[in-house]
Structure 1
C-alpha cells in the first residue's frame, strides 16, 4: 500500500521558513523545506490539516504559529463539527488546525494526532482513479465531493476535494497560479498528478 512519508514545502527563504515551522508546529522529519524561486501567487491548491485532541491543543498551535508570523485566516472557534482555525504560513501555505472536541480536556499540548494533505482537484473522480492506479487505497468516498485514502504505514493521509471547496473550507479565495510549492514524498515513485502536484 502506498504511503506518504514526508511533505516538502519549497520557499525562496529556506532558513526563515524552517524557523517558522519549527516554532509553530514542530513536525520534525514529516515536514521539510527546500529552496525554490518558482513563481506562485494566491491559493496554491491545497491545505494541510493538523488534527489534534482538543480545543486546548488547537489554541496552543494557533498561538505559537501566530507568534512565529502566521497570518490569521479564520480565528479559532467552535463549529458544528468541533473546534478549529485556519492560518497562512509566511511562505503562503494554508494550514488548518482541527479537533472534534470543542473544549480543552487537558490533552498534552504540542501533539499532532494526524496530518491530512487535502488536494484541490479539478476533477475529483478522475484524480481518485489516478491515485488508485498509483497504489493508494480508498478509505472514504463521497462521489465527486470528497475522497480520503488510507495512510498505510505513513503518518500523513491524502484527501481530495474540488479546488473551490478546498479554498472555501479554508476560508481563502480559490484564485491562484504558478507553482504549488509542494513536493510529496512516498514509496510510489516520482510522478505528477492531473493537477500538477509533484510526488518524488
Structure 2
C-alpha cells in the first residue's frame, strides 16, 4: 500500500491529488508540523522534518514533484504525463518543475517572513527579492494561459497539479494578486472531482 505522509495545506496535496487522478489506492498519514514533540515514526521516515513523504514497499521518497514523477513512472502510463515524443513534453516538463523550483519555493520566503519574522523584519530585502522573482515567473504562466487552457496545452497534466499548488499558495497565504486568467485556470483545475476528493481526504481525521 502506498503511504503519503502529509498535512492539510502542505505540498502533500500534490501527491494525494495525483493518486486520486490515477485511481490508485493509498493511505494518508497526517503529520502535525507544529507539534512540540514530533512523532518518532515520522522522523524515521524523513529526519529532515518537511512534507510530504512517500512510502511504497521498500521505497521512501521526499520532494513532491519527484514523488509525482515516481508514481507516474511506476504505475503509469498515464495521460497526466505526456510521452517524451509528444510535442507537449518540453512545456510539460518546464511547468512541472517550475511549479516548485521557480514558484512555490520562492513564495515561501515572503510567506514565512510575513507570518513568522518580527514585525520590523517582515518586509526584508530577501522577501522583496523573492516576491519580484515570483512575479517575473508568473509572466511565463500567463503567457502559457494566453495560448492554452493548461500548462502543457489542451489537456490537464501533472504540471497543472504542480502549478495549481503554487498559485493557491501565492494567493491564499502570501498576498499575491492573481490575474483573471490565473483565477480562471484555478477554477478549471480545482473543479476536478479528483481535486475535491484529495482535499476531502487531506482533512479526514484532522482535529478542527
Q: Same fold (TM over 0.5)?
A: no
Normalised to the residue count of structure 2, the TM-score between the two structures is 0.28
Bigger radius of gyration among the two: 2
Name the structure with the higher helix share. Answer: 2
Normalised to the residue count of structure 1, the TM-score between the two structures is 0.28
Name the structure with the higher strand share. Answer: 1
